[in-house]
Structures are given as C-alpha cells and as structure tokens.
Amino acid sequence: MSRYADVHCHLSFPDFDADRDEVIARLGEAGVELLIDPGTDADTSRRSIELAARHDFVYANVGLHPGEVRTPIGPELFDKLAGLAKADKVVGIGEVGLDYHWPGHDRNLQLDAFREMLRLAVRLDLPVVIHCRDAWPDMLSVLSEERSSNLRGAMHCFSGDLEIARRCISLGLKVSVPGTITYKKSVLPEVVAAVNLNDLLSETDAPYLSPVPMRGKRNEPSYVALTVRAIADTRPEPFEAVAQALVDNARNLFGIP
C-alpha cells in the first residue's frame, strides 16, 4: 500500500467537528502516515497543538494568517505565538504570509506581521509555511530581504508559474502542491514536471480545494492520494517512487523521524 503525507490540512477546524474520528479513520485507510495541522492565529494554533497531542501521526504549526491581520499587531500576540511554537510536536511556523485578494486588506500591516513571523522562524530554527495570494512581487522581495542561512520552508498551496517556483526554491522553499493540480486551467502540472522531485511536497489544504473528482465537496486528508497521483502523472519516476519521495521530503523539511 502506498504511503502519503499531507503537509497542510486544517483538521482541527470546526468543519470536521461533526465527524473528525471518521475522517481520521479514512485517512488511515488511505495510507496517510503524516499530517501537519497549521494554525492561523493563537487560538487555532493552540487547537492544532491539542490535536497533535492526541494522534501520533499529527504535527502542528503555529502561525498568523494574513487574513487575520486587520489591525496593528502588538508584541503580546507575537510573544504568545512564540510561546506556543515551543510546544511539543510543533514542527513549523505557519500559516503566515501575504494575501492581497480580498478588499480592505492592509498591505503594510501584513508586511510587518509577515516579517515578524519569518524572524520568529529563524530564531526558533523552524521551517516556515507561507501563504501567498495576489502578492508575488512583495512576497519574493520580503523573502529576499529576510533571507537567512536557516530560513527554509514550504510555499503552501503554490499558485505561481515556473519562474516563481524556481525563485522560491532558490530562496530555500519547497513547492507544496494541493488538489488544484487536477483543475483544468492549473499551471501546476507544468511546474511540477519541471522542478526537482526533492523540491515538492503534497497537501490538501482541507477542508478547501478538493481535487477532481471530489471538487465541490469538503476536502479531507485522504484525498491527498489523488493529488499525489496527479503529481506522479507529470513525472518520469514511477508512482511509488514519487509517493515515497513526497513523504521523505516532508519528514526531512519538518524534522520528523
């Protein structure tokens, strides 16, 4: 049986409150051996940590999503996040980043918060998990300016083209591939085919972005197998080699034995 890693799944979100045990049973049956649950603020980060404590195969990230940055962030919140990031089974700082898609966003507030979270990742020597939507010029500029010998991580739910992917990889980030690779207009097949297999990760971003043929339904971690199949379809390596490499890449990046 093939084994899979889902490096970005919001299993702790309320979307799964009604049937979380059943979802966990299905992901085990599907061969998902590793799942990372990211936080989007202090409360969700705490829930991610609590979920990870209950399941051997689940790990947590602590983060501040750009969508949560609507007012100036004081040092108290950053201190709280730093404390949470030292908890057992926290393997990364995320989900953090920039999102200029929604009306009313504050670019400067997001940039300040993003820099703070990148610097926290560097201080704690943890990989960073980055969200970017409609903000690639600023994203690449900040990453270049904040570049450090131990700044590394994943570009979550990658949505850029091949040139952007290569820029991200050069800055120490892996390309994390969601179910959107199965969508008709996706450029991800071209990106995934052209980069090194060692620079790729697999994710669901559940409960969002279900892959075909589950599109339109709530996403869940067992569906990462469909994403891995789509990744493998673009690659010269055998399916089993791709699936195993994606698991190994996740364990190596996040320091999970």
How sure is the predictor about 26, in pLDDT bands with cuts at 50, 70 and 90?
Answer: very high
In the chain, the percentage of residues whose pLDDT exceeds 70 is: 100
pLDDT at residue number 82: 98
pTM over the 0.95 mark: yes
Of 89-93, 101-105, 153-157, which gets the smallest average pLDDT? 101-105
Q: For 130-147, what is the mean pLDDT?
A: 98
Instruction: Flag whether pLDDT at 135 surpasses 90.
Output: yes
Q: Is the pLDDT of residue 153 over 90?
A: yes
The answer for residues whose C-beta is within 8 angstroms of residue 137's C-beta and 6 or more apart is none
Confidence check: pLDDT of 1 > 90: no
Residue 119 to residues 77, 115, 136, 146, 161, Cα–Cα distance (Å): 15, 6, 19, 8, 27
Could you give the number of structural domains in the chain?
A: 1
- 71 falls in which pLDDT band (50, 70, 90)? very high
Tokens describing residue 162 = 């091949």
**Cα–Cα nearest to 8, from 99, 121, 129:** 129
Angle between helices 239-254 and 224-233 (to 10 degrees): 120
DSSP class of residue 72 equals: P
Position 132 confidence tier, pLDDT thresholds 50, 70, 90: very high
Position 234 confidence tier, pLDDT thresholds 50, 70, 90: very high
What's the mean pLDDT when you consider all of the chain? 97
Q: CATH code at 163?
A: 3.20.20.140
Q: How confident is the model at residue 238 (pLDDT cuts 50, 70, 90)?
A: very high
Domain that holds residue 227: 4-254
Q: List b or e across 33-62, with b for residues whose CB sees 16 or more CB atoms inside 10 angstroms.
A: bbbbbbbbbbebbbbbbebbeeeebbbbbb
Q: In what order do the strands lie in the sheet with 128-133?
A: 4-6, 32-38, 58-62, 90-99, 128-133, 153-155, 173-177, 200-202
User: pLDDT, tens digit, for every residue of 240-254?
Assistant: 999 999 999 999 999
